[in-house]
């Protein structure tokens, strides 16, 4: 069996810009990337629940809204998983940080991704109940979709 990968869009699609990760995943699904060892998931949770979603995969690609104040809305931060501050759903006040959850999972012998790539998109509005994103964040989606698709293409 070949490499198994999962692409996870994190966020809440009814809280304006917070749905940006889900929007990226939906566009990738619409382009036909699902299948052949590639799965997609949408979620609004972090920590232990997100770790459980990643279990069993060789690689994970996460797309999430971030609030850092260091980037303009629509700015994209990308790289391998680490202690990413500002990511909206890799932590939870009711759970634990994803990094801690991954450590716990590894200690229990869970098969977890050897590599986790992350795209964080700086957002502007995560408080308005709306399925519409701000123009700056909406404009970032096509570029992130291309980058994630390129990563998926690399593994084929």
d(Cα 150, Cα 101) in Å, to the nearest integer?
28
- Per-residue tens of pLDDT for the chain, all 156 residues: 688 999 999 999 999 999 999 999 999 999 999 888 999 999 887 778 889 999 999 999 999 999 888 899 999 999 887 645 555 545 444 456 777 787 888 888 889 999 999 999 999 999 999 999 999 999 999 999 999 999 999 875
**pLDDT given for residue 93 in this prediction:** 46
First-to-last alpha carbon distance for the chain, in angstroms, is: 13
User: For the domain bounded by 5-151, which CATH number is listed?
Assistant: 3.40.50.1450
d(Cα 90, Cα 64) in Å, to the nearest integer?
8
* Angle ∠(142,145,148) on CA atoms, nearest 5: 150
**Torsion angles phi and psi, residue 19, rounded to 5:** -85, 10
The answer to whether the beta carbons of residues 62 and 90 sit under 8 Å apart is yes
**pLDDT given for residue 107 in this prediction:** 87
**pLDDT given for residue 94 in this prediction:** 46
């Amino acid at each position: 069996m070949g490499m198994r990968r999962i692409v996870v869009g994190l966020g809440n699609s009814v809280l304006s810009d917070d749905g940006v990760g889900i929007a990226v995943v939906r566009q990738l699904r619409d382009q036909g990337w699902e299948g052949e060892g590639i799965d997609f998931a949408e979620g609004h949770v972090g920590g232990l629940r997100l770790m459980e979603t990643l279990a069993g995969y060789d690689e994970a690609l996460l797309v999430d809204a971030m609030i850092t104040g260091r980037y303009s809305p629509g700015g994209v931060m990308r790289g391998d998983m680490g202690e990413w501050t500002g990511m909206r759903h890799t932590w939870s006040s009711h759970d634990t940080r994803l990094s801690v959850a991954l450590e716990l999972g590894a200690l229990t012998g869970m098969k977890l991704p050897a590599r986790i790539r992350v795209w964080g998109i700086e957002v502007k509005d995560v408080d308005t109940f709306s399925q519409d994103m701000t123009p700056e964040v909406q404009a970032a989606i096509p570029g992130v979709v291309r980058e994630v698709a390129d990563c998926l293409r690399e593994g084929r």
